[in-house]
Amino acid sequence: MHRRHRVLVLLSIALAQIDIRTGEPEANLAKAKVFAAQAQEAGADILLFPELWLHGYDLEHAEEWAAPLGQGGFSHMSALARDHGLYLAGTALERHSEGISNTAALFSPDGDLLGAYRKIHLFPLMREPRYLVGGDHATLCDTPWGPVGLSICYDLRFPELYRAMAVAGAVLFLIPAQWPVPRLEAWLLLARARAVENELFVAACNRVGVEGIATFPGRSAVIDPWGKALVEGADQERLLVARADLKEIRKARRYLTVFEDRRPDAYHIGAGLGE
């Protein structure tokens, strides 16, 4: 069922929990460079930025900010990855033949694009369906540690997406977000749930700061397959770094054989037990 990979087992994950200045890409890029340098100095393997870290949720000007893969925010992520020798992920507005999408991308330390994912579940409260086109498939990226699954913010509420990636072999989910204070408990609960139910690692990076009437609490975290937060931020800007031992995935799955005990053949609504 799971694809076998010859993988490295120790992974240092950094989360750039930053305050995003909406519509001010120069300021956000300058800050990103500082955090990337800190991640490099800390010996991180991979660095994750919050959702739409370069321009913020300035969807009314999406036409101005959007760019094809390889340009705009994606070219900045590629350069940051290359300049600091990191695997690096985040989201930007992608312009493509069907419109504009909120797209997560993972880059290698050489600056190469390893995979891109267009946010499937568009968030009505942020008017995403008005401005953006949703994606239509999940994305796994090959890395030296195994397949890494990309998702974005509101996706966290849809466990089917994560189970599909786990069944396909994912060892880590990357979840960049702009998740506000009123739904903080859901953020904490759902991030842990995605890790525990799939017995793998979750790296969830949320922004901090105030945007209009919204306050963003951070609370970014790296969560292990047992549901333990290896690192968790508060509500201030900071770089968070956690060391993940991927052998914990095998330990968890040997202890609780969730994937062996699944019964997808029975996951349908029947007529009842009958006589």
Is 64 labeled as catalytic in the residue annotation?
no
Is 119 labeled as catalytic in the residue annotation?
yes
Question: 31, 128, 141, 153: which is the annotated catalytic residue?
Answer: 153
d(CA 175, CA 148): 11
CB 124 within 8 A of CB 147: no
Question: 51, 199, 232, 248: which is the annotated catalytic residue?
Answer: 51
Q: Which long-range contacts (CB under 8 A, 24 or more apart) does 209-215 make?
A: 209/19, 209/20, 209/237, 211/20, 211/22, 211/56, 211/57, 214/180, 214/181, 215/180, 215/181
∠ CA 8-10-15, nearest 5°, is: 120
Question: 31, 119, 199, 205: which is the annotated catalytic residue?
Answer: 119
Dihedral sign for Cα 155, 231, 54, 88, please.
Answer: negative
CB 33 within 8 A of CB 80: yes
Is 51 labeled as catalytic in the residue annotation?
yes
Positions annotated as catalytic residues are: 51, 119, 153
